[in-house]
């Protein structure tokens, strides 16, 4: 199991990359719906806050399982956000 610091850095890095992708789409793609991009940016920030909170407060008594579930949930939600971003193109 990775330590909390590494997990937090990973979550922050992924959220930063997704947020940056949204900003680039918003600024450099003239035919993109800005409202949808703003919603995606809000989802990215919510994802970051949610997972950082889950890292800081794992389930008592099942810490290892909590972090395994966290990693699988993170992967699935990031894939869903990437799909939504790619649909905007």
Q: Mean pLDDT of residues grouped by 10 in the chain (89 residues)?
A: 87 97 92 92 97 94 92 97 92
| Residue 89 confidence (pLDDT) | 77
Q: What is the pLDDT, as a whole number, of residue 2?
A: 66
CB burial readout 45-77, b (16+ within 10 A) else e: eebbeebbebbeebeeeeeeeebeebeeebeeb
| pLDDT at residue number 30 | 86
> Residue 57 has what DSSP assignment?
S
Question: According to the model, what pLDDT value does residue 1 have?
Answer: 52
State the Cα–Cα distance between residues 12 and 25, nearest whole angstrom.
20
What pLDDT is attached to residue 88? 86
């Amino acid at each position: 199991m990775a330590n909390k610091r590494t997990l937090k850095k990973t979550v922050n890095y992924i959220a930063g990359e997704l947020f940056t992708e949204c900003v680039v789409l918003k600024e450099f793609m003239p035919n993109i719906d800005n409202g949808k991009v703003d919603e995606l940016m809000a989802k990215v920030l919510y994802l970051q806050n949610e997972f950082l909170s889950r890292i800081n407060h794992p389930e008592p008594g099942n810490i290892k399982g909590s972090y395994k579930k966290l990693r699988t949930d993170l992967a699935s939600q990031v894939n869903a956000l990437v799909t939504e971003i790619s649909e905007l193109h």
